[in-house]
Structure 1
């Protein structure tokens, strides 16, 4: 099966499953995405701070 056709079928089936499950509308989905993005970037920032902690490089 051509990849583009497979992807189109996947999106169609995913939309059907969301409709059956009563998934939140586009506004709630955007809010959830925004929250996940903020949480993700916060975790990245914390990880970078831990990785570049003073004295971490000197402890061999």
Structure 2
């Protein structure tokens, strides 16, 4: 294979990999933000004073 063609193929593949990696990073960042938001919500629900007395029924 001609050296110029070989170099161009490597450049194209490198660009494809960079694009794919950028999409993956954005998806992971969103997943992490959603996870922490759910943790925060759970802690707020847990630490919220209920003001009620007695037992609560568990919905299963």
TM-score (norm 1): 0.52
- Aligned CA-pair RMSD: 2.6
- Residues 2-21 of structure 1: pairs in structure 2 closer than 5 A: none
Q: CA deviation at 1:57?
A: 3.8
Distance in structure 2 (CA, Å) of the matches to 1:56 and 1:38: 29
> Within the alignment, does 1:32 sit opposite 2:14 as a pair?
no
Stretches of structure 2 that go unaligned for 5 or more consecutive residues are 1-5, 48-60
> Which of 41, 49, 53 is matched with 1:55 structurally?
41
Q: How many Å separate the matches in 1 of 2:24 and 2:16?
A: 12
Question: How many pairs were matched up?
Answer: 39
Q: TM-score under structure 2 normalisation? A: 0.52
Secondary structure at the counterpart of residue 52 of structure 1:
helix
